[in-house]
Amino acid sequence: MLPLTNAQRVGNKVPILRMGSPTANTASSRVKPEPDDGHVKELSVVQKHEQNVEARYILAGQPYRASMTSKFQQIKQPFHLIYEANEMAPQLENLTPKELLVDIDLEVQLRNKLHKAA
């Protein structure tokens, strides 16, 4: 261990680093450098890697996102038709929002019971 300089000493005492103190844990106190003169500084190797990984995840997720969007559209269109028909119906025949909820599992169970009974 190197000897402390006078600037590092506090009075005649040597400072003790304790776990959890800001000087003991430099990883949590790191600050990303900002450009001083307005010019963009070159990214570090770690920052470039993080950007590449993020870009790969975005590209990898696009097919899944597209399939989910099409599935939502398949559900959304019939529901929108039902909702519009409900709005056009007379006041006494309108369904409440609670009655418009769709329970797919219950629907499958009921259809299976009907097919078994038939």
**Domain annotation covers residue 88:** yes
More confident residue, 102 or 64: 64
**Domain annotation covers residue 104:** no
Q: Which domain holds residue 59?
A: 45-98
Asked if the model's pLDDT at residue 4 lies above 80, the reply is: no
More confident residue, 58 or 38: 58
pLDDT for 35 equals: 56
**Domain annotation covers residue 15:** no
Number of domains in the chain: 1
Percent of the chain's residues with pLDDT above 90: 12
pLDDT tens digits, one per residue of 30-56: 655 565 566 667 878 888 888 888 888
Taking the CA of residue 37 as centre, how many other CA atoms within 13 Å lie in the half-sphere pointing to its CB?
A: 2
pTM of the entire structure?
A: 0.37
Write the Ramachandran bin of 38: left for phi over 0, alpha for psi from -120 to 50, otherwise beta. left
CB of 73 closer than 8 Å to CB of 66: no
Asked if the model's pLDDT at residue 18 lies above 50, the reply is: yes
Dihedral angle at the C-alpha atoms of 17, 21, 23, 29, nearest 10 degrees? 160
Structure tokens at 104: 């797919």
**Domain annotation covers residue 52:** yes
Average pLDDT over residues 61-72: 90
